[in-house]
């Protein structure tokens, strides 16, 4: 019997490539998007079904999960991928923007996780994979809101694994580095501001970000890592993928704060 993966945010980027990769490996895929009528990514795959899901809407979350279970019999793996990034000077970011970022990246992920737990527990186990970021354990200038959302995902997931391990439910955290996705285009909210004292840092940060985006690795690499995590029977929790994530996360672990911060500051001079 083929296993089934339930993936949020599959309209593009990491989510899209993950859905395709799992399907190519013979899995059933419940691919969720906010606008199924406009999604043409998966028509050639008979083992992919598309469902409407908005992670900010609890009703749509429960409906999508229930429908996928009815169609496929069960869900073995959840991949919480839906999310986007806000960057900009914190002083200029509104409460509305902050709330929207957390409602998607944190509360949305929590909604889907909470909704799937009873099913996984009742069937005797499963795997929950949270797509976080290397930015969930290290930081860069102007990403205070995005980083805080991903750090929240890391802390939430690390604590949750203690609760779920007795039920044979594994928690996996994927920590991508710089990946070529719409994160650097459509899915970024660049906070323009009228605070000239920040402009030198904003200019440098924009240049560094765009250069990194052009040199980023393929989302297929992340998809392969997510699949590896889904198939891993161990309780290994974190999987870094895509440069410079592995080296930066190692340095962050080994170096004193001041040494690590100086490395990051040199990049933004």
> Which residues are designated catalytic?
146
User: Quick one: tokens of 227?
Assistant: 């699949």
Phi/psi for 94 (5° steps) reads: -80, 160
SS3 125: coil
Which residues are registered as beta bridge partners of 32? 51
d(CA 29, CA 26): 9
Which contacts of 197-205 are long-range, i.e. CB under 8 A and separated by 24 or more positions?
Answer: 198/89, 198/91, 198/92, 201/141, 201/142, 201/268, 202/88, 202/89, 202/142, 204/268, 204/269, 205/87, 205/140, 205/141, 205/142, 205/268
Inter-residue contact 198 to 90 (CB < 8 Å): no
């Amino acid at each position: 019997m083929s296993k089934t993966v339930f993936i949020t945010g599959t309209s593009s980027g990491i989510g899209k490539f993950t859905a395709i990769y799992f399907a190519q490996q013979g899995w059933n895929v419940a691919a969720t998007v906010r606008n199924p009528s406009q999604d043409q990514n998966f028509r050639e795959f008979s083992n992919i079904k598309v469902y409407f899901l908005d992670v900010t809407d609890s009703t749509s979350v429960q409906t999508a999960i229930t429908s996928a279970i009815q169609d496929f019999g069960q869900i073995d793996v959840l991949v919480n991928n839906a999310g986007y990034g806000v960057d900009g000077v914190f002083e200029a970011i509104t409460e509305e923007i902050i709330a929207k970022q957390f409602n998607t990246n944190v509360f949305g992920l929590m909604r889907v996780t909470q909704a799937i737990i009873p099913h996984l527990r009742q069937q005797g186990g499963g795997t929950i994979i949270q797509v976080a970021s290397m930015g969930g354990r290290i930081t860069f200038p102007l990403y205070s809101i995005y980083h805080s959302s991903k750090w929240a995902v890391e802390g939430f997931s690390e604590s949750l694994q203690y609760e779920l391990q007795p039920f044979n439910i594994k928690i996996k955290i994927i920590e991508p580095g710089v990946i070529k996705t719409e994160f650097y285009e459509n899915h970024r909210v660049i906070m323009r501001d009228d605070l000239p004292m920040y402009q030198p840092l904003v200019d440098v940060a924009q240049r560094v970000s765009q250069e990194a985006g052009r040199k980023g690795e393929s989302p297929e690499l992340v998809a392969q890592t997510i699949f590896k995590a889904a198939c891993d029977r161990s309780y290994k929790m974190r999987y870094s993928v895509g440069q410079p994530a592995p080296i930066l996360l190692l340095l962050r672990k080994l170096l004193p704060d001041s040494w690590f911060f100086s490395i990051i500051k040199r990049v933004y001079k």
